[in-house]
Structure 1
Amino acid sequence: MVGRNQEVLGALPVAERDRAAASRLPPWRAEEYAASRTLLRALLREIGEDVAGGPVAARPSGRPYLPGRPDLGVSLSHSSGWVAAAVGRDRDVGVDVQTPVHASGRLLRLCCSPADAEALAVLPEARRRREFAWVFTVQEACVKAVGRGLSGRPWSVPVEVGQQAGIWGPVSWCAPRGGAPVPVACAWNARLPRAS
């Protein structure tokens, strides 16, 4: 699920727990914090998993989780006024949303195959930004699905320009380019059994 911060906050009820936590953050961070958790709670209600304002906690790595609900994997993302949330039953998930920004030649070479970096480098700036944002959302969603974020070296996830679905090791992913207002991708990983 993806939405603009202010649209989410204007249309959906913000849990008191999230409002209180957001009030202790800088204004720019407070809005994305409240919007991402509000969107997550709306998604949970939509799939019949209302957590009734319960906590959305974060592991030391920053990965969100729902205490008492190890059967639900959750992921949150935010970028320049946009938020995204994902939920997986009995699996870990990763979601990423990216507003297009300048991608230097060095960044293209780091995150893309040589052929794709070359193809992106010759595109007009606006299109290059958008196409690179699609690639990077997939890379970031994949490493989030395995619980590693940037430490998982997202740039090592192979994604071709224009690719809309794929597999990276135990992770499956999709980037639904057709209807998304901004680049967004979701990845999911079969959850390994966890100790109680």
Structure 2
Amino acid sequence: MRSVRVAVAPKAPQVGESAAARKLLCRLIASPATVVNGPNGRPFLPGRLDLSISLSHSGEWVAAAVGVGVDVGVDVQVPERATDGLIRRCCTSETGVALAGMADRDVEFAWIWTAQEACVKATGQGLAGLPWRIPVDVGQRAGTWQGVRWVSLRGRSPVPASCAYREMS
């Protein structure tokens, strides 16, 4: 059986970002858990290798994902100023042109970035996977990249967040 569960929530006051993301993960799996980082930095649950997990935080927001039978990646991003250079680096030229004319380009760019980063987290590569090379279009809600399926949580998350998954390796 394959399944993915994702949650995005505001960080509780007085709680660190990592602790808040881990607490959210515990709510997803309905039990306390010890999270350990592997040699490549990817988090996992010792003794629960049947589960894949991913955590993210940005500003006052945290996200957690748990996968059964799939490797997962999740990313949440509070929108920040998307400079022209950043857009050129992370988007195709067509997407860059579409973003240039948008009043809410910072928000739209954050949606694009969460999909890109969730994909490389699902592969276990993180930033070494060069997320900025993953093509994601303005307004795109789902897609695939190198065997990874991703879904934007538009309409389900108050801040840009995306989840990605692939068959467990």
TM-score (normalised: structure 1): 0.80
Opposite residue 139 of structure 1, the aligned amino acid is: Q
Aligned to 2:8: 2
State the 4+ residue runs in structure 1 displaced beyond 4 angstroms.
none
Aligned to 1:139: 116
1:169 aligns with 2:154: no
Mapping of 1:75-114 within 5 angstroms?
Answer: 75-114=54-93
Say which structure is richer in strand.
2
Q: How far apart are 1:141 and its partner, in Å? A: 0.1
Higher RCO, 1 vs 2 (CA within 8 Å, ≥6 residues apart): 2
Name which of 106, 129, 133 aligns with 2:106: 129
* Larger of the two Rg values belongs to structure: 1
Name which of 20, 27, 30 aligns with 1:35: 20
Opposite residue 129 of structure 2, the aligned amino acid is: G
Q: How far apart are 1:178 and its partner, in Å? A: 1.4
What is the aligned-residue RMSD (CA, Å)? 1.3
Aligned to 1:68: 47
Q: How far apart are 1:106 and its partner, in Å? A: 1.0
The alignment partner of 1:94 has SS state of strand
Question: Matches of 1:54 and 1:146 in 2, distance apart?
Answer: 22
Q: How far apart are 1:3 and its partner, in Å? A: 0.4
Name which of 115, 118, 125 aligns with 1:148: 125
Q: How far apart are 1:179 and its partner, in Å? A: 2.5
Opposite residue 143 of structure 1, the aligned amino acid is: V
Question: Matches of 2:135 and 2:74 in 1, distance apart?
Answer: 17
Opposite residue 118 of structure 2, the aligned amino acid is: A
Opposite residue 92 of structure 2, the aligned amino acid is: S
- Size of the aligned set, in residue pairs, is 163
Question: Matches of 1:187 and 1:101 in 2, distance apart?
Answer: 22
The alignment partner of 1:33 has SS state of helix
Say which structure is richer in helix.
1
Q: How far apart are 1:54 and its partner, in Å? A: 3.6
Opposite residue 36 of structure 2, the aligned amino acid is: A
Deviations 1:22-69 (A, max 9, x none): xxxxx8xx6111110000000011xxxx3xx34110012221100111
The alignment partner of 1:68 has SS state of coil
Opposite residue 189 of structure 1, the aligned amino acid is: R
Question: Matches of 1:80 and 1:120 in 2, distance apart?
Answer: 23
TM-score (normalised: structure 2): 0.93
Which structure 2 segments of 5+ residues have no match? 1-6
Deviations 1:90-127 (A, max 9, x none): 21100000000011111111111101101112222xx0
Greater Cα shift, 97-106 or 54-63? 54-63
Q: How far apart are 1:186 and its partner, in Å? A: 0.1
* Residues 10, 62 of structure 2: 8 Å contact kept: yes
